[in-house]
Amino acid sequence: IIRVLSTEPDVSDGPDHRDPAELVTQLVTQPVTQPVDQPVNQPAAGVPLTDPASNVTIRPGEMTAIVSARPEESGALADRLGRFGRTCTAVHLDGVAIADLPLATVRRRIVVSEIDPRLFTGSLREGLDPRGNHTDATILSALLVASGEDVMEALPAGLDSDVEERGRSFSGGQRQRLALTRALLTNAETLVLVEPTSAVDAHTEARIAARLAIARAGRTTVVMTASPLLLDQADTVILLTDGQATAQGTHQELLATSTAYRHTVVRGEAS
């Protein structure tokens, strides 16, 4: 399930209850030094997203792919960016600690999807757009980006069709595409996708990769993946080794210059 829908997270609100105009701008992971009872400044817009714990810097408005031979490393980075769980470090936005901001604000501005998507019981429309914010045309557009239009078309009542508990009537690939649709409909300023195409075939993955790059153009998107099809669409690819950024460039540049990258991508493609 998309974590933005979580209702009982393992974190709590910080003391600053102001809603920053541009929250998702710069994310910095470092030890917390600012007293929690002090007011925090509002983060500025259009600055890099940085995680010193891994030496990863992500430019705003671009698609950045994170590659790791150990998926738990990229998963841990996604958790840090989304403020999930309790760790010894704290994510910052342009010097402002996320821990000091309202959790609802963080959840609204930063959407982190998961590799194990689930759907709620109810209509497909409610599962994709729980808050009822979008028109059918917008939902259908998101389905097209996620290459999920065939899933809807196969249902007897389309968007009004009932979904079984946890989407058990759908295959793993179908659930994954519907979960991606739901993530896209959040229109998040920063969208973090964790292995969004791991359960689909190569032809479907190619369509998703191309459409995702177009749909998210100009907005910050982070994709945790080892899929060459997604990597080739990314503006920047970063290789994590033992939790640290060890190589950076385009997919083609890294294929030509990094043996470790080639091995990681080939292994991911084979699996």
Q: What is the chain's pLDDT, residue by residue, as a tens digit (271 residues)?
A: 455 444 444 565 655 554 433 333 333 333 333 333 344 555 555 566 778 788 888 788 999 999 999 999 999 999 888 888 776 456 777 767 777 778 887 788 889 997 777 777 899 999 999 999 999 999 999 999 999 999 999 999 999 999 887 677 899 999 999 999 999 999 998 899 999 999 999 999 999 999 999 999 999 999 999 999 999 999 999 999 999 999 999 999 999 999 999 999 987 666 6
Rounded distance, CA 112 to CA 223, Å? Answer: 10
Instruction: Judge whether 65 and 230 are in contact, CB under 8 Å.
Output: yes
CATH for the stretch 3-270? 3.40.50.300
Q: What is the pLDDT of residue 106?
A: 77
What are the residues whose beta carbons fall under 8 Å from the beta carbon of 256, sequence distance 6 or more? none
Instruction: Judge whether 40 and 34 are in contact, CB under 8 Å.
Output: yes
For the sheet with 27-30, list strands across it: 27-30, 90-93, 96-97
Rounded distance, CA 151 to CA 141, Å? Answer: 14
- Give the containing element (helix H, strand E) for 100: none
170 — phi, psi (to 5°)? -95, 150
- pTM for this structure? 0.82
